[in-house]
Amino acid sequence: MPTPCDVLIVGGGIAGSSLATALARDGSNVVVLEASRSFEDRVRGESMLPWGVLEAREVEVEQTLLDAGARMTPQWVHYDAFVPTEVARANPIPTGMMLPGIGGSMNLRHPEACSALIDAAARAGTCVVRGVTDVVVTAGTKPDHDGEVTFGVATRFGSRPSPGSTASTDVLIAALPVSSSSMTIEVLGGM
Ligand SMILES: Cc1cc2nc3c(=O)[nH]c(=O)nc-3n(C[C@H](O)[C@H](O)[C@H](O)COP(=O)(O)OP(=O)(O)OC[C@H]3O[C@@H](n4cnc5c(N)ncnc54)[C@H](O)[C@@H]3O)c2cc1C
């Protein structure tokens, strides 16, 4: 693991890996710490709406998702318990007309999207560490005159400390679900 690194991202899902790819391509020294060793199907994130597709295009990961098998759909039929099926089918939502140049929503299984994106981040030069749990973040004594803060990040695999599992970084990004509880932030010194 390169340490210190420019940016350390905790969470290598769609957001964390996309950001890591963009930053690494721009020349930043990036580390991603991801809890899972392989992405499980958690039944989420199967469909990316047009504005998400636009953002994927802007950070240049759209093709990565298409190469992984993503399909574009130019309209949505919104089935609902309160809307008769024939009414829903007669009134599709035209997702392909919402944004100029974006053909609709993009559909790909969440584990496959995450896998493709974290692999792209690694190819772009990001150091990806899988199986990370219990991340502890300790801020430095105080921000320096540029407003930067150095963090120490200790990772443990299960209950055993892992060799070389400490890194420092100027920028720490938590790309985590709100429910994630295995990250502790400890502030030391005169912040
Ligand atoms: C049932 C359901 C359906 C959804 N359907 C859609 C949909 O169709 N379209 C849509 O756009 N969004 C949908 N969402 C929201 C969707 O989950 C997010 O859009 C998307 O997954 C967000 O990506 P993310 O990278 O922010 O978070 P996640 O995909 O949750 O990625 C976070 C990553 O952080 C890792 N992690 C967690 N804790 C730690 C830790 N302590 N240390 C290291 N790594 C950690 C996880 O393993 C995970 O890989 C759905 C959500 C749910 C719950």
- Tell me, yes or no, whether 90 lies in a domain: no
Segment holding 24, helix H or strand E = helix 14-25
* Helices vs strands, H then E, count in the chain: 5, 10
Asked whether residue 128 is assigned to any structural domain, the reply reads yes
CATH number at residue 121: 3.50.50.60
- Please report whether residue 23 resides in a domain: yes
Each residue's pLDDT tens digit, 125-146: 999 999 887 788 887 766 665 6
pTM recorded for the entire structure: 0.91
**What would the pLDDT profile of 50-73 be if each residue is shown by its tens digit?**
999 999 999 999 999 999 999 999
**Ligand 1 pocket at CB < 6 A:** 10-16, 33-36, 43-48, 52, 114, 132, 135, 175-177, 180, 182-183
Give 159-181 pLDDT, tens digit per residue: 555 656 788 888 889 998 877 77
The number of domains in the chain is 1
Query: Domain residues for 34?
Result: 5-46+109-186
Measured between alpha carbons, how far is 49 from 37 in angstroms, rounded to an integer? 28
